[in-house]
Amino acid sequence: MKRREWFELRQKLEEQGCHIQIGGSGHYKVYQGKRLLTVLPATTSDWRAIRNKKSELKRKGILV
């Protein structure tokens, strides 16, 4: 997994009006308005993680 893919995902989320904050654990918290949508990992060891996260966001109505 490349960091670039996660960076691009965060950029696409911000373009759609989501706000991203870094939490105390170093993970990225994604908000839409005041609603917490999901938490993105700071580092991953699973190559499927980005696909799973995109699927989760799609189920919540965010197209990336």
Domain ranges of the chain: 3-59
Q: Rounded to 5 degrees, what are φ and ψ at 41?
A: -70, 150
What are the 10-residue block averages of pLDDT along the chain, 64 residues in total? 85 94 93 94 86 94 87
Q: What is the pLDDT of residue 9?
A: 94
Model confidence, pTM? 0.85
Q: What is the pLDDT of residue 34?
A: 93
Q: What is the pLDDT of residue 53?
A: 94
Looking at residue 60, the DSSP 8-state letter turns out to be T
Those residues whose C-beta lies under 8 Å from the C-beta of residue 64, and which sit 6 or more positions away, are: 9, 12, 13, 16, 54, 57, 58
Q: What is the pLDDT of residue 15?
A: 94
